[in-house]
Chains A and B, each alone.
Chain A
Amino acid sequence: MTAPGSLLVEVRDLVKHYPGERSWFGLGAPRAAVRAVDGVSFTIAPGRTLGLVGESGSGKTTVGRTMLRLQEPTSGKVLFEGNDVFGLDAARLRALRRKMQIVFQDPYSSLNPRMTVEETLREPLEIHRLNGAVSALLDEVGLDAAFAKRYPHELSGGQRQRVGIARALSVEPRFIVCDEPVSALDVSVQAQVLNLLADLQAKRRLTYLFIAHDLAVVRHIADDVAVMYLGKIVEHAPAAEIYAQPRHPYTTALLSAVPEPNPRASKQRIVLTGDMPSPAHPPPGCPFHPRCPHPKKSERCRTEPPPLRPITPGHLAACHYAEEPM
């Protein structure tokens, strides 16, 4: 057990490169590797939620899956309760899987279409030889026990997502990677699921890594927020601070791009130009410089990659001009 206040999860310099395919039947030179995750570090204390925000291609999903060792990392370390996740043998990894779980984005692909809800929830209990009741799990996620006999295609998106959450809970984990758990849901159902996740966290003392592309959703669940761009964390701060005073121009732009349900909101919208570059060919210097709207953007941004550094205590940003935010 970890002492209160210490760390539950620690990620150190995590790197995941997907090697490029080789031409000439695997004999030629490989194409450029895709740097999906390029040196990511963070920690999460027990019972807290870290929101990991980024657009598609930022590497946020890869971080979550590599941490659970669902993909092998290229380099780096993940410590869970002090254990090196990447150094475990098969038996100890299996034991660890009880403590680290994942909830997926797409409720249509995350459940086996040929298994009933009961079969889906019973399987993890079988694997780990646990005594648990399917009905209790269903009750905990707010589903009637009658759902046990249903197949996934008979459920709505929100109900499926609840089953996915029950499956993750079945092994009584301490840590859950929530990989965009509400992005595919309708607004009214999204609120239900977010509230459920918050309730479960309070009740079970869960720790979350909450991956999302939507800063507004993250605001309602996260204690800390890390923003990713092109495989790197560009800003990491307590939630209240990042929303009040973003230090990285990308975070500023992301915040301003969220459409607000208020027609009188006359905020200055920053519309970024261009697309995120391919992670196979990241630009030199600051990865964000080709799209950066910061007025002080200089030659330095084009050549020298800014390190992720503390700007104020607890507030990290990777921008040469973080002291003078936009």
Chain B
Amino acid sequence: MSVLLRVRDLKTYFVTEHGKGTARAVDDVSFDLYPGETLGIVGESGCGKTVTSLSILRLVPEPPGHILPGSLIEFEGRNLLALSAPELRAVRGNQIAMIFQEPMTSLNPVFTVGDQIAEAAIIHQHLSRRAARVRAIEMLRLVGIPDPDERVDDYPHQLSGGMRQRVMIAMALICHPKVLIADEPTTALDVTIQAQILELLDRLQHELGMAVLLITHDLGVVAGHADRVVVMYAGRVVETATTEALFEHPTHPYTEGLLAAVPRIDAPRARLHAIPGQVPAATAWPPGCRFHPRCPYAWEKCVAQEPPLLETRNEAGHTARCWLVTEPERRAPKR
């Protein structure tokens, strides 16, 4: 299958406010997104997953941020980083759309939800106001909002958090994009509402046949909804695999630790496995493997030399940025 969105060697750096250093928020990230699939990007705060998603549509605030030359973001054969501003606008919201974590601040409080949903259709498909409104009502119905004919004239504050996130999704999907970037779409929502929204996204993806880039910190969300997973740590991709392979054979010690740290509803009450220490600052990534200060297996080589993404023996396409792939016998904890 041909690649829909190809990200290669993406580097997005931020100059810190007082010129005291460069935060290498995204540092050499590569992955592919295929039509119709859901690719999960998982990591904790500070790993660079959100900056990655913003970089794709060039929404990183510049300055202080900038995408370094040599990065490539190719959508249907065109490098998005080389597009002019009008060309880019024709892609944004039309072929690649995005939904955000915070549905309250992502909607403009002074316009009705109908106006906001219709806006993209007016811009990109040159619909008349009346036609766009009809489309907006259709979209509201599609995302499961009851009484869409009335809700279309509501203002964002009149809706609940879950309803607002549905409106955000309706806005993103009105032009039938080929790629939907969902950046922590359910983090701000309650568990029961989260379940509704995730189910809705699954259904819409199935109906509209789009590819979804699902950015999340929640391994549970990834397990239930992604086909393949990219695990990020400290600005780098540390592991990629199909969802099943990742959860069955987590190879990078970070993935392994993260999985063990998740509180499980099906496990008895017990101490949780914790990864010691903190994510380092983006201005001062550790030398060698960036995870080595927190890694239970690290040895001299990990301090001296950063591993590349190495092909594991589990299955084709399962890669991990860890020397353990070459020396698996070291996976006995040294503690």
Which residue on B lies nearest to A256, using beta carbons? B195
B1 close to chain A: CB less than 8 A: no
Given contacts A188-B44, A263-B243, A265-B223, contact A275 B258 (CB under 8 A): no
| Binary interface encoding of chain A residues 275-311 relative to chain B, with 1 for a CB under 8 A from any of its CBs, else 0 | 1100000000000000000000000000000000000
Q: Are A254 and B220 in contact (CB under 8 A)?
A: no
Contact of A273 among B196, B258, B269, B271 (CB under 8 A): B196
A119 close to chain B: CB less than 8 A: no
Kindly name the residue among A189, A243, A264 whose own CB sees the greatest number of chain B CB atoms within 10 A. A189
Q: Are A216 and B278 in contact (CB under 8 A)?
A: no
Q: Are A260 and B264 in contact (CB under 8 A)?
A: yes
A55 close to chain B: CB less than 8 A: yes
- Residue numbers of B with Cβ under 8 A of A are 44-45, 160-163, 190-196, 198-199, 217-224, 243-244, 247, 257-259, 261-267, 269-276, 278-279
- Shortest C-beta distance, B279 to chain A (Å), equals 8
Which residue on B lies nearest to A54, using beta carbons? B190
**What 10 A-B pairs come out closest when comparing CB atoms?**
A259-B220, A188-B275, A55-B190, A191-B274, A186-B44, A191-B272, A191-B261, A257-B195, A261-B219, A216-B263
A136 close to chain B: CB less than 8 A: no
- Shortest C-beta distance, A37 to chain B (Å), equals 18
A239 close to chain B: CB less than 8 A: yes
Q: Are A191 and B275 in contact (CB under 8 A)?
A: yes
Question: How many residue-residue contacts, CB under 8 A, span A and B?
Answer: 134
B257: chain A residues at CB < 8 Å are 188
- Shortest C-beta distance, B281 to chain A (Å), equals 9
Contact of A259 among B160, B218, B261 (CB under 8 A): B218
Given contacts A187-B258, A191-B273, A254-B191, contact A261 B196 (CB under 8 A): no
Kindly name the residue among A186, A261, A271 whose own CB sees the greatest number of chain B CB atoms within 10 A. A261
A34: chain B residues at CB < 8 Å are none
Per the bound structure, the CA–CA distance linking A213 and B223 in Å amounts to: 20
- The segment from A83-91, A217-225, A312-320 found at the interface with B is A217-225
Which residue on B lies nearest to A277, using beta carbons? B160
- Residue numbers of A with Cβ under 8 A of B are 55-56, 156-159, 186-192, 194-195, 198, 213-217, 219-222, 239, 243, 253-265, 269, 271-273, 275-276
Q: Are B278 and A194 in contact (CB under 8 A)?
A: no
Q: Are B220 and A261 in contact (CB under 8 A)?
A: yes
Which residue on B lies nearest to A267, using beta carbons? B266
Per the bound structure, the CA–CA distance linking A157 and B261 in Å amounts to: 17
Q: Are B192 and A272 in contact (CB under 8 A)?
A: yes
Q: Are A187 and B217 in contact (CB under 8 A)?
A: yes
Per the bound structure, the CA–CA distance linking A198 and B217 in Å amounts to: 24
Q: Are A263 and B272 in contact (CB under 8 A)?
A: no
Q: Are B44 and A216 in contact (CB under 8 A)?
A: no
Q: Are B270 and A186 in contact (CB under 8 A)?
A: no
Can you spell out 27 A-B residue pairs with CB atoms less than 8 angstroms apart? A56-B190, A156-B278, A187-B217, A187-B261, A188-B44, A188-B261, A190-B263, A192-B274, A195-B274, A214-B191, A215-B191, A217-B263, A220-B270, A220-B271, A222-B269, A243-B265, A254-B191, A254-B192, A256-B195, A261-B220, A261-B222, A261-B264, A264-B244, A269-B195, A273-B196, A275-B160, A275-B193
